Amino acid sequence: MLRVRVLVFSMIVTVAAGSWPAVASAQAARTWVSGVGDDMNPCSRTAPCKTFAGALSKTVAKGEINCLDPGGFGAVTITKSIAILCDGMGAGVLASGTNGIVVNAADNDKVLLSGLDIYGAGSGLNGIRVVRAGSVVIHNSVIHGFSTPGSRGISVEGPGSVTVSASTILHNATGLAGRVVSAGDNLLAGNGDDGQFAATRARR
């Protein structure tokens, strides 16, 4: 009788263990979004997703999300290492009444955001809000229109290194809040309170 129980238990463990990789394998290292995509799709090059939030759930940690064409790809909360690269594509995130991109990841997670147009439409809370991360790099992006009192273009509220390069931060109630390092070529102007970069790092 004991042998039967052990056999049944081991079968359950085997089945459970076998099903876990199947779930994990549904995520891709590189996914795609498109203005005419659909989050029901697998986010592949030929069947892209519609939003960053939809693509993020189908991208492995340390993976990459790319944009195929211009579009509004929606607000997203990032909880793992990821790169969102949409340079030259007109990748919009309209965040009326909410945060554009929230980074709330682990202490060793690395996030790269490049080529984004994050717009608060006068009512957004924060363009990019970093709650926690290992490092966050923001490159070649525009963060604007977070102009209600208390709103910020970039808000760093927890541990993590945040570096900005070649980006424009303007027309926000506050441009920068928290420790943000500039890697050069940034425009920080036209904000109610620009804030200031904690340091400027030379680009090598």
Partner 1 sequence: MSAPRPLGLIRIALAALASIVMLAVAAPAAAAPPNPVLVLTGIEHYSTGGKNWVRHRYDVVNKDQYPAEMFAMAPSLPPCGSNTRASRSWVDFFDSNGKRLYGFCALLDPQGLGNIWFATEEGTVPPSHVYIEITDRQAQVKYRSNLADTTM
Residues at the contact surface with partner 1, assessed by CB under 8 A: 37-40, 49-51, 53-54, 57, 72-74, 77, 92, 94, 96-98
Distance in Å, CB of 38 to partner 1, minimum: 4
- Give the nearer residue to partner 1 in terms of CB position, either 39 or 157: 39
- Give the nearer residue to partner 1 in terms of CB position, either 98 or 200: 98
- Give the nearer residue to partner 1 in terms of CB position, either 146 or 197: 146
> Which residue reads 């592949």 in tokens?
44
How many other CB atoms sit within 10 Å of the CB of residue 4?
Answer: 8
Distance in Å, CB of 98 to partner 1, minimum: 5
Would you list the DSSP string of 157-203?
Answer: -SSSEEEEES-EEESSSEEEES--EE-S--EEESSSB----SEEPPP
Determine which helix (DSSP H) or strand (DSSP E) holds 131, and give its type and residue range.
Answer: strand 126-132
SS3 156: strand
- Give the nearer residue to partner 1 in terms of CB position, either 19 or 44: 44
Determine which helix (DSSP H) or strand (DSSP E) holds 31, and give its type and residue range.
Answer: strand 28-33
- Give the nearer residue to partner 1 in terms of CB position, either 127 or 195: 127
Distance in Å, CB of 60 to partner 1, minimum: 17
Which backbone phi and psi does 16 adopt, to 5 degrees? -65, -45
- From residue 84, how far is each of 31, 65, 68 by CA, in Å? 10, 5, 12
Distance in Å, CB of 73 to partner 1, minimum: 7
Distance in Å, CB of 185 to partner 1, minimum: 28
